[in-house]
Amino acid sequence: MNYPSLKEFIDRLELEGELLRIIQPVSPILEIAEITDRISKQPGDRASNKAGGGKALLFENVEGSSMPVLINAFGSTKRMNLALGVHDIEDIAKRIESYIKIPPPTTLLEKAKLLPMLLQAAQFPPKLLRTTHPPCQEVIHLNDDIDLGTIPILQCWPQDAGRFITFPIVINRSVDKKIRNVGLYRMQVYDKKTTAMHWHIHKDGAHFFHEYRKQNKVMEVAVALGADPASCYSASAPLPYGIDEFLLAGFIRKASVPLVKCKTVDLEVPANAEIILEGYIDPSEMRLEGPFGDHTGYYSQDGDYPIFHLTAITHRKNPVYLTTIVGKPPQEDFYLGRATERIFLPLLRTQLPEIVDMDMPVEGIFHNCVIVSLDKHYPMQSRRLMNAFWGLGQMSFVKTIITVDTEVNVHDYEEVAKLLLNKVDFATDLFFSEGVLDVLNHASDQRLHGSKLGIDLSTKIEGEPGYKKEAPVSANSSELPSAEKVMAIFKEVQNCKVLELQAKRSVLLVALNKTGPHQGKQFIQSFLDHPEFFAINIIIVLEGHVEIENISTVMWKFFNNLDPKRDFYFHAERLGIDVTQKFHEEGYQQNWPDEIEMTAEIKTQVDKKWNDLFKE
């Protein structure tokens, strides 16, 4: 289905029973985020055919604004499919694959068969409308009428530096005006006419900004809040440099995205958007932005970023403010990321045809872990694949890559975990590298770069290290220590648990009360040397407050806090992994961020309102 605007998508969500309207008064300061966080984390239930991610929420009575707030609109597999007009996200991937695999026509008949597909493709580019009264410009605010305070912009988390626009479709052009960039970059509100523009150093928006800075030119910017669902998704997609995101949106919609000229800047914006912000960035101006509770589940650090000055706000007569929250997974952004994983898989295969399938676990928050199955034909092909990933666009930020054989289901994490514990050879299967990391990665000693880990679980072939090497001997479950024994000997252990995976290697999770530098390393060495605990093959040391009974939380912590080369300690055929917080005395040069946690006061306020929120 092609949605001309966000309004039609809202109607469809309601028709499908995927929308909850909340008429009770709520505050945009923390309350909406707390309510949404609880809803978005509602688990699925296969028995009742209930999907995870809860429902989309439309808050119709937001304190301080007449605009309703739509949130969690894309926060489930079903809603993501609805948003992109398909029964299954894989349908879009198949369409992309059909274009990639078009053989050059050799006969007149083949050319005739190709014509409908080429005509369909010709409809995809965005279309500039000549109308003087598009929906997004039904109401126009200029000069002293510009006031961001009329929009119910959220403060999501207690330590956030203020209110942040979290789902902006930011539009700008290269300094020569030839290339348009459309991206999602959060915007901290400073006052009624200015915001920050937080584009990461590796993103196209930052690249364009530096072009303007070199030439000392002012950069025009426009921001759409609440466009059609395909455009909202496409702004988040990791397209190659120079490819117009509205072109992808048109491909998904099977219809061009209609654009109109802005009122005060020379840019085009989606004609059917709910709200448009117009303005400029002076590259000579920078201002402190952040902290902000980010999708890692931690607060990202503050830093100097460009300032966006508004020259106009235009909007529909009765606009809806589309927004999102990010934080400890799962959140709405997971489903947007999952769509990207599936849609872009055929494009990855054009460069790396041995890829069979891939999965980015929610606990890996996109850039911390990727599981890839490959069709392997020659020695060290897995390592070649890992190195290729680490040099490929946004895949270059991935910290841990696990490769498996074709027949392994990369989406079955228990299967992959058992394979790892039964098969991995520490001497031949672990591959350490170094390279760029996402700006939000806090684990490495230095910002923006650090170590990476490749785990090769593919079957070894002749000529490869580990070929015909015997698998590890199974752990004797009768010799595995109890939690009580571990805690009796090591008083600093808050809690511990042996994983029950019936695998050849045993794993012990430890929540350690770490009070000083090097304590994690020292504990691992003492534990692995202790004669009572030789039956434990792998020990993972986490911070004392981690709920080790929750495996999803454990893996989220593991992937977030891991710097592989620093945190792996080998002891013969055994391994200790220290994913506790690091101190400057340990060589750590960043500022370890706080985990995102809502205040007790807001939790209590929402508890009191909860039952009334969802009454008709």
What's the CA gap between 303 and 614, in Å, rounded?
39
Residue 237 · residue 249 · CB < 8 Å: no
Full 3-state SS string of 143-171: HHHCCHHHCCCEECCCCCCCCEECCCEEE
Q: Which of 614, 41, 53, 72 is nearest to 322 (CA)?
A: 72
The Cα–Cα gap between 118 and 96 comes to 13
Place of tokens 């009360």: 513
Q: Would you give the end-to-end CA distance of the chain in angstroms? A: 29
For residue 606, what are the contacts with CB-CB under 8 A and spacing of at least 6?
31, 34, 35, 38
* Contact assessment for residue 154 and residue 286, using Cβ atoms and an 8 Å cutoff: no
Asked if 591 and 480 count as a contact pair (C-beta separation under 8 A), the reply is no
Query: Is residue 139 helix, strand or coil?
Result: strand
Q: What is the 3-state secondary structure (H, E, C) of 503-556?
A: CCCCEEEEEECCCCCCHHHHHHHHHHHCHHHCCCCEEEEEECCCCCCCHHHHHH
Amino acid type, 456: D
Among candidate residues 18, 23, 12, the one with its CA nearest the CA of residue 614: 23
Angle separating helix axes 245-253 and 229-236, nearest 10 degrees: 140
Please give the Cα distance from 157 to 32 (Å, whole number).
10
Task: Give the whole-angstrom CA distance, residue 606 versus residue 35.
Answer: 7
| Residue the block writes with tokens 């992994």 | 577
The token duo for 517 is 């530098």
Interatomic CA distance for residues 235 and 248, integer angstroms: 9
DSSP lists the bridge partners of residue 187 as: 165
Distance CA 462, CA 154 (A): 58
**How many Cβ atoms from other residues are within 10 Å of residue 581's Cβ?**
15
- The partner residues of 473 in beta bridges, in order of sequence, read none
Asked if omega into 4 is within 30° of 0 (cis), the reply is: no
Task: Assess whether the previous peptide bond of 135 is cis (omega < 30° from 0).
Answer: no
Contact present, 398 and 389 (Cβ < 8 Å): yes
State yes or no: is 294 an active-site residue: yes
- 516 neighbors 544 (Cβ within 8 angstroms): no
Per the CB < 8 A criterion, the answer to whether 325 and 33 are in contact is yes
Residue 383 DSSP class: H
Distance CA 391, CA 379 (A): 20
The span from the CA of 210 to the CA of 174, in Å, is 10
Active-site choice (37, 244, 294, 359): 294
Catalytic residue ranges: 294
